Amino acid sequence: MRKPHPTDPQWSDVTPRAMFVNRRALMLGAGAFALAGPATAATPSRFSVTEPPTERSAITSYNNFYEFGFAKEDPARHAGKMKTDPWAVQIDGLVDRPGSYDLADVMKNQPLEERIYRLRCVEAWSMIVPWIGFELAGLLNRVGVQPSAKYVAFETLVDPETMPGVRGRNLAYPYVEGLRLDEAMNPLTILATGLYGDPLPNQNGAPIRLVVPWKYGFKSIKSIVRISLVADEPPTTWSAAQPSEYGFYANVNPQVDHPRWSQASERRVGDGLFAKRRETLMFNGYADEVAGLYAGMDLAKFY
């Protein structure tokens, strides 16, 4: 039998997108999509952009996941040893039904969608990623958000045995992030379990990660093990490590430069080093959906 070669075309390269996603969702009996229920397929989303997705090889080989190292290639090189099955997510704080939820329970009755989103990294590079996931709001409504909750805090797995970056202590671990509750409940905010029709690779945040497309990529925390509803703004890893460079909100804003480089333009991964840079869009192009969340705020101060 002929062994597949890395350069062989993928099903996603030759099959219409909706057909490919539904086929994969139905076939992955032991995979992430089966957890959402029998015969459940991801459906295309009205929130998807019309730009063509970045090549799969770039999405899975050019990553920030510092638990596995600081180089973009390190996560793909080291993350394969991370154990993602079984997986549980602790949901606690100001909720009516706290507890440790198996991933199957987290995904239960959550309708999966394919959402082709822009991803903008603070280092001024970008991708177009075909995520598979479900709205965070659905999960929060299911566990019952109490009236005093104002923020949602997230925490990443820490496993020194499989994560060499953790052993190196390059940041304070566990990696933590947070959103204001209205940001978390926005329909653009999803928990992703797959991309390109397959379960998430480890280097992309398997088995479940946050995706907030109008914010810089470091807000979209990977490999989530805890979600907490809290009354006060939670600490976040990068704003604690370098507060002059990384604020709590991290909204994509071409008018607010990083102290060490401009954010007014970006380079699309895969375009080549000499390709013309693209103009950065306010809120990463999602202003129509999210600008109202920040009405009256000074976005240079609350960066």
What digits encode the pLDDT tens for the residues 194-222?
999 999 999 999 999 999 999 999 999 99
- pLDDT score for 299: 95
Cα dihedral 289, 109, 35, 211 in deg (nearest 10) = 10
In terms of DSSP bridges, do strands 88-93 and 99-102 run parallel, antiparallel, or are they unpaired? antiparallel
Domains of the chain, start order: 13-291 (3.90.420.10)
Q: Nearest to residue 183, comparing CAs of 162, 210, 156?
A: 210
Cα distance between residue 6 and residue 66, in whole Å: 26
Q: Is residue 15 over pLDDT 70?
A: no
Phi, psi torsion values for 58, nearest 5 degrees: -75, -40
pLDDT of 29 higher than 50: no
How far is CA 79 from its chain centroid? Answer: 16
Classify strands 265-268 and 278-279 as parallel, antiparallel or unpaired.
antiparallel
Q: What is the mean pLDDT of residues 121-140?
A: 96
Distance CA 118, CA 53 (A): 9
The pLDDT of residue 41? 65
Instruction: Please state whether beta strands 198-199 and 113-120 pair in parallel, antiparallel, or not at all (unpaired).
Output: unpaired
Q: Which of 26-30, 144-148, 285-289 has the lowest mean pLDDT?
A: 26-30
How high is the pLDDT of residue 25?
39
Per-residue model confidence (pLDDT) at position 56 = 96
- Asked if pLDDT for residue 247 goes beyond 90, the answer is yes
Convert the pLDDT of each residue in 90-119 to its tens digit: 999 999 999 999 999 999 999 999 999 999
d(CA 303, CA 297): 10
Distance, in Å, from the CA atom of 188 to the CA atom of 287, rounded to the nearest integer, reads 11
